[in-house]
């Protein structure tokens, strides 16, 4: 009699655990990562370097800024500055991915990625924001992620992110704008139809405002062993693919010089 009752209790406990886990997975949302503390020192981004937004949905966080593209359920660009003094290998507890509270249309739920076979690929890398807990956690807003092939994310894309860190260390500071090429006909994942870009771009700029130097990369979203230099393209070519004007506030002559050609001289590759 006791044995039968124990089995019933165990079965009920197991059922409660299963239901609890399902509720946690599907409905639990942690508190926002954005801080209300106005004394926090933000990472300043030069207003003159901000790209145009094709959607008008520009969101500013403490340590990066983005333009959200609702039909594609991801950012069309994410902009951030990486300084030498921000580079650290400090361990951080990996937080939850959650929707960006500053995106009025709501950014995509992370569950769209579950079972899709694609990584939740950071645009502003978490590894570039280890210098504070909040800076690190902010990168886990879903507005800052895009579906990426696992081997691509851990391979050539990671190599480029590591190279950007080396440039920040060498040159003191770099300005970065990055995103996927959002176009019609892309594969979609999840209930919200998050689009999977076939290409990702990254534009890196260094130097004082009066002598800016830029380099741009356009990489197919599959793993490649090619040297990073082989993916360099003029910034103009990325503008044509995206409809984004990346340095719209610069004088026309400076913008043309920065965007019109590929110049790798002055950029040391590892």
Q: Which residues are catalytic?
A: 122
Cα(62)–Cα(55) distance, integer angstroms = 21
Sign of CA dihedral 60, 168, 47, 239: negative
Of 162, 246, 188, which is closest to residue 212 (Cα–Cα)?
Answer: 246
- Beta carbons within 10 angstroms of residue 45's beta carbon: 17
Contacts of 136 (CB under 8 A, 6+ apart): 92, 95, 126, 129, 130
Beta bridge partners of 91: none
Ranges of H-type helices in 80-208? 133-138, 150-154, 156-171
Residues whose CB is less than 8 angstroms from the CB of residue 183 and which lie 6 or more positions away in sequence, other chains included: 198, 241
Cα 57 from Cα 51, distance rounded (Å): 12
β-strands 194-196, 187-189: how paired?
antiparallel
How far is the CA of 153 from the CAs of 24, 63, 171, 184, 204, in angstroms? Answer: 28, 22, 25, 23, 18
Q: What are 90's two structure tokens?
A: 């400090």
Q: What is d(CA 78, CA 80) in angstroms, rounded to the nearest whole number?
A: 7
Q: Please tell me the distance from the alpha carbon of residue 223 to that of residue 230, in angstroms, as a whole number.
A: 14
Q: DSSP strand E in 70-143: where?
A: 74-83, 119-122
């Amino acid at each position: 009699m006791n044995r039968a009752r124990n089995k019933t209790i165990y079965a009920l406990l197991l059922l409660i655990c299963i239901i609890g886990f399902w509720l946690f997975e599907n409905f639990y949302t942690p508190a926002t990562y954005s801080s209300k503390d106005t004394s926090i020192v933000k990472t300043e981004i030069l207003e003159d370097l901000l790209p145009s937004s094709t959607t008008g949905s520009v969101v500013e966080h403490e340590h990066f800024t983005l333009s959200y593209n609702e039909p594609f359920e991801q950012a069309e660009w994410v902009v951030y500055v990486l300084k030498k003094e921000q580079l650290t290998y400090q361990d951080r507890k990996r937080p939850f991915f959650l929707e960006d509270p500053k995106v009025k249309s709501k950014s995509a739920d992370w569950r769209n990625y579950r079972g899709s076979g694609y990584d939740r690929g950071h645009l502003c890398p978490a590894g570039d924001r280890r210098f504070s807990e909040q800076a690190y956690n902010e990168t886990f807003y879903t507005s800052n992620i895009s579906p990426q092939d696992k081997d691509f994310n851990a391979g050539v894309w990671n190599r480029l992110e590591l190279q950007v860190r080396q440039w920040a260390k060498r040159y003191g500071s770099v300005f970065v704008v990055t995103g996927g090429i959002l176009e019609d006909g892309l594969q979609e994942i999840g209930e919200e139809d998050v689009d999977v870009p076939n290409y990702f771009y990254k534009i890196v700029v260094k130097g004082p405002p009066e002598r800016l130097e830029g380099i741009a990369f356009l990489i197919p979203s599959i793993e490649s062993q090619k040297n990073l230099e082989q993916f360099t393209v003029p910034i103009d070519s990325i503008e044509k693919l995206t409809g984004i004007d990346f340095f719209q506030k610069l004088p026309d002559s400076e913008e043309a010089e920065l965007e019109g050609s590929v110049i790798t001289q002055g950029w040391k590759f590892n």
